[in-house]
Amino acid sequence: MEIWNPLIKLKGDIEDILETNMESYQEDHLDRFNHSGWLNKTWRSDRFRRAHIDVVDAREVKKLWMMHVCIFPKVNSGAPVYGFDIICGQNKITGAFHDFSPIDANDPALKFFSDVADTLSWKKERELPDWAKAIFSGKMIAVGNITTEEEVKKLCSTVLSNTKWYIENMGIKDDMNSVELHNRYAYYQRQNPHTPRTMKALGLNEDDVDFFVNNCLFPKI
């Protein structure tokens, strides 16, 4: 089974959801990171301050494909941050991570995500490092070594249905100031050493990657 095809379809499906529900816009500096093999797109709306898709397509030169999706709700809603990251080769997903990361610990979306996660089981779950435990939910989906069609389909269908639910239901409330918590989430994400290491291993320029991770991937408000 060639794993890339269903994941590229998932990328298109998520893009369609964002295009339908938000307005695309071009952030400062991101033009620099749109070229052959590297895609960055951003969206926003009255309920979501920033949605970002980042794809590194190194299938021809490295036999690898990577996607990062992050959606921040508006800062006064208290809704969780949506995240999905994946890296895969032609026949194996090395790592996949998906979460609704808490901003307001009492937001009902966290129970929705927890209930979904509780219905799933994986052959190889991934242990989270300390920086990740500081911000991700206790039910984060973190799996590796996915090689079967069954698990690929389960991952794609879960992420797609959760994306639809998130866009339909989040960012509606208007009852708290979450700027510091959004910045806290971004700070800990920037501590992830695997992101720049992986992007450089995929053949991207080292200086570009360092600037991108520190200024564009999780920018401070």
CA of residue 62 relative to chain centroid, distance:
22
Percent of the chain topping pLDDT 70: 100
Torsion, Cα 63 88 22 77, to 10 degrees, reads: -150
Q: pTM for this structure?
A: 0.94
Convert the pLDDT of each residue in 144-155 to its tens digit.
999 999 999 999
Which helix (H) or strand (E) segment holds residue 10: the answer is helix 4-21
CA distance 197 to 107: 34
Where do runs of H (alpha helix) occur along 119-219? 130-133, 149-169, 179-190, 194-201, 206-212
Strand order in the sheet with 38-44: 23-25, 38-44, 48-58, 64-73, 81-88, 93-101, 141-146
As assigned by CATH, the class of the 4-215 domain is alpha beta
3-class SS at 188?
Answer: helix
Report whether pLDDT(48) > 90.
Answer: yes
pLDDT of residue 101: 97
Q: What is the mean pLDDT of residues 136-161?
A: 94
At 16-45, the pLDDT tens digits run: 999 999 999 988 888 888 888 889 999 999
Report the candidate in 114, 112, 96 with the shortest Cα–Cα distance to residue 156: 96
